[in-house]
């Protein structure tokens, strides 16, 4: 994958994360960045998913929730990496690896909130439903974008 495509995907993740921001109890926010993270991994592979997911989301956090940017860098980077492990030609993999990726995201934010000073277990539990909804939206949207791109690019 060319470096400039990875930069473009990173910017797309950041924009999708910043564009729709719905605050949640722990001080974070619901966003659509996960849609682009899953797509980035499926489209560009694990390196593109890692960079776009980690840095695009962390840059977005620097604008709205800067103290959490390091956690986001790791969690969203892992999400993109795992989604990018799928081989797009193997149909079942484009469903399995993104599912594992969003599970990692939900678990990562749960433990990130729990272990974060001034947040703790209560905030982690309060944010859990929102993170699950965001994961489901990212999973469905990211796969849908990938399938649409694949169909369009073959015509």
98-131: pLDDT as tens digits:
999 999 999 999 999 999 888 899 989 988 999 9
The model's pTM is: 0.94
Contact 52, 6 (CB under 8 A): yes
- What pLDDT is attached to residue 26? 64
Chain centre to alpha carbon of residue 99: 12
pLDDT digits (tens, 9 = 90+) for 29-88: 889 999 999 999 999 999 999 999 999 999 999 997 898 899 999 999 999 999 999 998
Q: How many CB atoms lie within 10 A of CB 25?
A: 12
> Per-residue pLDDT tens for 74-97?
999 999 999 999 998 899 999 999
Q: Which domains does the chain have, with CATH numbers?
A: 3-153 (1.10.1760.20)
């Amino acid at each position: 994958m060319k470096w400039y495509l990875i930069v473009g995907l990173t910017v797309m993740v950041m924009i999708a994360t910043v564009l729709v921001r719905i605050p949640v109890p722990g001080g974070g926010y619901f966003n659509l960045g996960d849609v682009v993270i899953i797509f980035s991994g499926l489209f560009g592979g694990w390196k593109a998913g890692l960079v776009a997911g980690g840095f695009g989301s962390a840059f977005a956090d620097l604008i709205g929730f800067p103290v959490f940017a390091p956690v986001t860098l790791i969690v969203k980077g892992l999400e993109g990496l795992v989604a990018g492990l799928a081989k797009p030609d193997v149909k079942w993999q484009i469903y399995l690896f993104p599912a594992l990726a969003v599970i990692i995201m939900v678990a990562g934010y749960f433990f990130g909130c729990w272990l974060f000073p001034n947040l703790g277990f209560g905030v982690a539990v309060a944010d859990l439903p929102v993170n699950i909804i965001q994961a489901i939206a990212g999973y469905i949207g990211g796969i849908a974008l990938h399938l649409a791109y694949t169909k369009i690019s073959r015509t």
